[in-house]
Amino acid sequence: MHRGAAETFDESADLVTLVVTPLVVVSAGAKSHVDVGATLERLETLNIPVLGYRTRRFPGFYVADSGHAVEHCADSSAEVAAAVAARDALGLRAALLVANPVPVADHLDSQVHDRTLAEALEQVREQGIAGHDLTPFLLDRIRRATGGRSLAVNIAVYRNNNIAVATDIAHARRELSELSVALTAAVLFSRSRGE
């Protein structure tokens, strides 16, 4: 949910897709120019579960903590896989959003981030920037103010979320599936033998 969405109804189409697509999305959180509180409320309204991965705080993409808590968390990829299995067993269709913060070593300094964002939002108000021009403007201001460091954070997020965490979750899901098949086979075999 973009800032001011209550007046503009500016909501990402991704939210609607997450409602009807039973996948796992590993995310470093909402970008800072998004209204994180409103986004979390909207996710809850749409019944899209949010699971903190080794964190009890919802990440802010460039920073590890957006200032908002997550209600549920998992401390391992096996716990995420179990949550996915439970969702699937219940026949639920929504995606599971796994909130995984950028590693602290890679995130932006929160004071620099907050100051830069406040200055950029003031420029937005002064210049009347809105709609599809808003996001590129804010991201460019953050990139410039951080000397390109925000781009390095994007790469760290990709490596950490897509390569490391998502892969671990996929492996855990496969292992859980194989275990489930083995247990089902053992039960069926014992029933066929009259045990």
The pTM (predicted TM-score) of the whole model is: 0.83
Domain range for 19: 5-192
pLDDT (mean) for 49-61: 96
Domain count across the chain: 1
Q: Is 161:27 a contact under the CB 8 Å cutoff?
A: yes
Place of tokens 């209550």: 6
CATH number at residue 111: 3.40.1790.10
The separation between CA 15 and the C-alpha centre of its own chain, rounded to angstroms, equals: 12
* Cα–Cα distance for residue pair 191/175, rounded to 1 Å: 24
**Conformation bin of residue 71: beta by default, left when phi > 0, alpha when psi is -120 to 50:** alpha
Check residue 85 and give its pLDDT. 92
Q: Give the pLDDT confidence of 15-40 residue by residue, as tens digits.
A: 889 999 999 999 999 877 788 999 99
Residue range 95-149, pLDDT digits in tens: 999 999 999 899 898 899 999 999 999 999 999 998 788 889 999 999 999 999 9
Alpha-helical runs (H) found in the chain: 5-8, 13-20, 36-45, 77-89, 110-127, 134-145, 149-157, 166-192
Distance CA 129, CA 156 (A): 29
